Structure 1
């Protein structure tokens, strides 16, 4: 049996360019394999078995034997008492509960400006070790639990009015730079291929993307890449297709602000990246987690602009 020599480096999305029915058929078949790579998958796993998003409720705050619900098992030799039991004089010890008068302001799944401020304030006092994202995911839940635990509050992971007022009293109003730093990590020194013209300059080492015009950085943002099974290609490319409301025809998942540069591989916004961070991976695409930043980038980039991945 002859082995097929097709590599499958293309997109499942038909661009509509070809020189005949046979060419179009081959192109569509080849492109289908790589666009499938844009659905998020867990880092280091085979693409066929993506794991579910990380839990937003860490279990390290729920230790056995401290919730007051466990009771001792009676011994088989114990004799029943003939005297009526006296009413208990005190309730068993239990984990402190949340203030019944407190109102929950933010919790897992919340997003917006107040979440970003919460994260910036937690970062000021060492409970949040990354840049604010505006999304209340598992990392934020853990940070809030840490803050609550050190202040003698119930470690619910939810930000109620008591937790919020305590945090306000210990921190200052975040500056614009604290609320919206360019990236979670310092942007890498641009590759020499990025120093001329209009370039989307993407560093795998720093996991950052910089939009550059004639050697000057206009904006930077955090990105993540494909897993070891479906790596993001490296080299010099150009944007050949932009699709604002793109949806993968293989996985039926949203790929907003998609800018295709190599077959089915594109730079696009990822809600999964925004929620889980670097605990996941794409199937080859360059994921951006800040929707506002990629929306601005999408508006500036033109077909034909250079893309450098290194």
Structure 2
């Protein structure tokens, strides 16, 4: 009796000039990764983040909750282990949330340039401001991974292409706004917390990339600062 197989392949653009990422999706729960029974080094922190009883001991329900989080954000292996990568993503989310609506509290992004798009690599946040006035954001972003860091400094949007496709890798980069060589703001179809990051671009959700497209124009300033964790 023949075995029926179903596979779906999702090809996602993860950054400017980045090769496609191909994920094999299983046919159903029977193909899902098994849950680990091991207690991870960040068990208590992860339990607290997920609203689980904080006892520092792995349980079947703990594992399923952790595994669901890992699957949602592309953390591998998604086996429900409370390790450093999973906690690192959660810790970053906590820090992003703590920023609230005052992302430039420290004054790191210039307020004397008029409209400017700011990118804080340390917190993986971006926003648009006009002087001291917050225009949009802050929004979570996904910047360059180790070896492909998003370059820091003051730049300008020099080219925009709403339907851009990478000429090197044939990867769609919708709502591209280039500000430094091949590095651009653009939308992707993966979680903003999907490790390890892009190949240099500032990835955004489609909603945020569309908003940036409507608010920015060629010649507008972009300021990138800080250092992404792990780079």
Q: Under TM normalisation by the shorter chain, which class is it?
A: 0.5 to 0.7
Write out aligned runs for 1:128-143 (5 A): 138-139=71-72
Deviations 1:143-171 (A, max 9, x none): xx99xxxxxxxxxxxxxxxxxxxxxxxxx
- Equivalence for 2:148: 230
For residues 187-217 of structure 1, give each alpha carbon's deviation from its aligned partner in whole angstroms, at most 9, with x where no partner exists: 4435444313101010011100011111111
d(CA) in 2 for partners of 1:51 and 1:248?
Answer: 14
Alignment match of 1:38 (pick from 6, 16, 26): 16
Larger radius of gyration: 1
Runs of 4+ in 1 over 6 A off after TM superposition: 54-57
Corresponding residue for 1:285? Answer: 201
With normalisation by structure 2, the TM-score equals: 0.57
1:216 to 121, 133, 136: 133
Q: Which moved more, 1:233-242 or 1:218-227?
A: 218-227
Pick which of 279-288 and 202-211 moved more.
279-288
Counterpart in the other structure of 1:299:
214
1-side partners of 2:224 and 2:22: how far apart? 28
CA distance in 2, matches of 1:54, 1:202: 32
Please point out which of 242, 252, 258 is paired with 2:170: 252
Instruction: Assess if the C-alpha contact under 8 Å between 2:119 and 2:223 holds in 1.
Output: yes
After superposition, residues 27-106 of structure 1 pair within 5 angstroms as 38-40=16-18, 52-53=22-23, 59-61=33-35
Relative to structure 1, the CA distance from residue 192 to residue 126 in structure 2 (aligned partners, 3 Å threshold; closer, same or farther) is same
> Matches of 2:167 and 2:159 in 1, distance apart?
16
TM-score, with structure 1 as normaliser: 0.44
- Unmatched 5+ stretches in structure 2: 1-13, 38-47, 53-68, 81-92, 226-231
Alignment: residue pair count: 160
